[in-house]
Structure 1
Amino acid sequence: MRYLVLSDIHGNWPALQAVLEAAPSFDGVLFLGDAVGYYPDGDRVLDWLMDVGAQCVLGNHDAWLLALDRLPKEGVVLEILAWQRARLSPRHLDFLASWPWQKEVEGALLVHGSPCDPLEYLDGLELARQAFACTDHRLTFHGHTHLAGAFLELSGPRPWVRYQRLAEGGELILPPTVRALVNPGSVGQPRDHVPGAAFALWEGDGITFFRVGYNLDQVAQRLAEEGFPPWLYTRLTLGE
Structure 2
Amino acid sequence: MQAVLARIDELKIGAIYSLGDVIGYGPDPEACVLLTESRCCLRLMGNHEHALLNPDEGMSFNASAREALDWTRQRISRAGLLGRLGETEPFHQNRDILFAHGAVRNTLNEYLRESDRSGHSTFDELVESLENDFIDFRICFVGHNHKPFLATTEGFLHPHPAMCEFHVAEEERLYVSVGSVGQPRDGDPRACFVTFDGSQVSFHRVSYHHATTAAKIRSLALPGKLADRLAVGLLACTRQHA
TM-score band, normalised by shorter chain: 0.7 to 0.9
Counterpart in 2 of 1:164? Answer: 157
Q: Which amino acid aligns with 2:110?
A: E
Counterpart in 1 of 2:14? Answer: 27
Counterpart in 2 of 1:198? Answer: 192
Counterpart in 1 of 2:117? Answer: none
- Per-residue deviation, 1:48: 0.7
Q: Structure 1 70/166 Cα, relative in aligned 2: closer, same or farther at 3 Å?
A: closer
* 1:42 to 2:26 alignment: no
Q: How does 1:27-176 map to 2 (within 5 A)?
A: 27-68=14-55, 75-89=63-77, 91-118=80-107, 119-124=109-114, 125-132=123-130, 133-136=132-135, 137-153=137-153, 161-166=154-159, 168=161, 170-176=164-170
Q: Secondary structure of 2:175's match?
A: strand
- Per-residue deviation, 1:43: 1.1
Q: Structure 1 196/53 Cα, relative in aligned 2: closer, same or farther at 3 Å?
A: closer
Output one character per residue of 1:95-118: Cα deviation in whole Å (capped at 9) or x when no partner.
210111221124310111111112
Counterpart in 1 of 2:219? Answer: 225
Q: Distance in 2 between matches of 1:74 and 1:209?
A: 29
Q: Distance in 2 between matches of 1:184 and 1:170?
A: 12
Residue 174 of structure 1 contacts residue 205 of structure 1 at CA under 8 Å; is this kept in 2?
Answer: yes
Output one character per residue of 1:16-42: Cα deviation in whole Å (capped at 9) or x when no partner.
111112221111111111111111211
Q: Structure 1 69/117 Cα, relative in aligned 2: closer, same or farther at 3 Å?
A: closer
Q: Which amino acid aligns with 2:231?
A: T
Residue 114 of structure 1 contacts residue 131 of structure 1 at CA under 8 Å; is this kept in 2?
Answer: no
Residue 53 of structure 2 contacts residue 86 of structure 2 at CA under 8 Å; is this kept in 1?
Answer: yes
TM-score by length of 1: 0.83
- Per-residue deviation, 1:71: 5.5
Output one character per residue of 1:146-191: Cα deviation in whole Å (capped at 9) or x when no partner.
11011123xxxxxxx3110125461121112311100110111111
Give me the CA root mean square deviation. 2.0
Residue 167 of structure 1 contacts residue 194 of structure 1 at CA under 8 Å; is this kept in 2?
Answer: no
Q: Would you tell me which structure has more strand in proportion to its own residues?
A: 1
Q: Secondary structure of 2:195's match?
A: strand
Q: Distance in 1 between matches of 2:113 and 2:104?
A: 13
Q: Distance in 2 between matches of 1:142 and 1:40?
A: 24
Q: Secondary structure of 1:210's match?
A: strand
- Per-residue deviation, 1:76: 2.2
Residue 138 of structure 2 contacts residue 171 of structure 2 at CA under 8 Å; is this kept in 1?
Answer: no
Q: Structure 1 130/59 Cα, relative in aligned 2: closer, same or farther at 3 Å?
A: farther
What fraction of aligned residue pairs are identical, expressed as a percent?
Answer: 28
Q: Which amino acid aligns with 1:17?
A: Q
When the two structures are aligned, how many residues end up with a matched partner? 218
* 1:182 to 2:176 alignment: yes
- Per-residue deviation, 1:94: 2.5
Residue 198 of structure 1 contacts residue 212 of structure 1 at CA under 8 Å; is this kept in 2?
Answer: yes
> 4+ residue stretches of structure 1 with deviation over 3 A?
69-74
Q: Name structure 2 gaps, 5 residues minimum.
A: 115-122, 235-242
Q: Distance in 1 between matches of 2:47 and 2:106?
A: 11
Q: Which amino acid aligns with 1:197?
A: A
Output one character per residue of 1:32-65: Cα deviation in whole Å (capped at 9) or x when no partner.
1111111121111110111124312221111111
